[in-house]
C-alpha cells in the first residue's frame, strides 16, 4: 500500500494555493471538468510530486462548505483492490462505492472519514464487484 493524497474542497483555489505556497507546496498538475463543473489541483512539497500530495477540489457552483464537508478523503494505492475490499468486508466494513471499474473504491473509517482505494495499474471489472450498488455516501 502507498499513500497518494489528501483531498480538501476549496471555495477559492487561488487563495488556497497562495496559502500552501507559503508552506513550500507547488502546483504539480491541474484537471478541469466542464461536464462535472469542477477543477482538481494537486500540490506537493519538492520531491513529493506524484507521491504525497494535497488535492484541492473546486466545485464551481459551490457557495460555501459547512459541517466539515470541505475535507474530502485520504487516498491509498493498493496492489489488488478486490482483495483489499474483501478484507474490509470480512472485518465488518461497508464498501460505500464498490470497485465496479476495477480501479476505484470508497470505504469509511469508524469515524466516517472517507478512504479512497485506487488500484495500482488496472484490473478488469469482476463480479460481484461490477454489479454492486453504492451504499450510503462517501
123, containing H or E segment: none
Contact 53, 91 (CB under 8 A): no
116 as an active site residue: the answer is yes
First to last CA, the chain: 21
Contact 132, 100 (CB under 8 A): yes
DSSP secondary structure letters along 93-104: --EEE--TTSSE
Q: How many CB atoms lie within 10 A of CB 1?
A: 10
Catalytic-role residue among 55, 62, 116, 124: 116
Active site residues: 116
Amino acid at each position: 500500500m502507498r499513500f497518494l493524497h489528501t483531498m480538501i474542497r476549496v471555495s477559492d483555489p487561488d487563495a488556497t494555493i497562495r496559502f500552501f505556497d507559503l508552506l513550500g507546496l507547488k502546483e504539480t498538475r491541474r484537471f478541469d471538468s466542464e461536464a462535472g463543473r469542477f477543477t482538481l489541483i494537486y500540490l506537493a512539497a519538492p520531491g513529493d510530486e506524484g507521491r504525497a500530495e494535497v488535492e484541492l477540489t473546486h466545485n464551481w457552483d459551490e457557495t460555501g462548505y459547512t459541517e466539515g464537508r470541505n475535507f474530502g478523503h485520504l487516498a491509498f494505492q493498493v496492489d489488488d483492490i478486490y482483495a483489499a475490499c474483501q478484507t474490509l468486508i470480512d472485518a465488518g466494513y461497508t464498501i460505500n462505492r464498490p470497485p465496479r471499474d476495477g480501479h476505484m473504491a470508497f470505504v469509511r473509517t469508524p469515524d466516517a472519514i472517507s478512504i479512497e482505494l485506487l488500484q495500482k495499474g488496472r484490473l478488469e471489472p469482476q463480479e460481484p464487484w461490477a454489479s454492486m450498488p453504492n451504499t450510503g455516501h462517501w
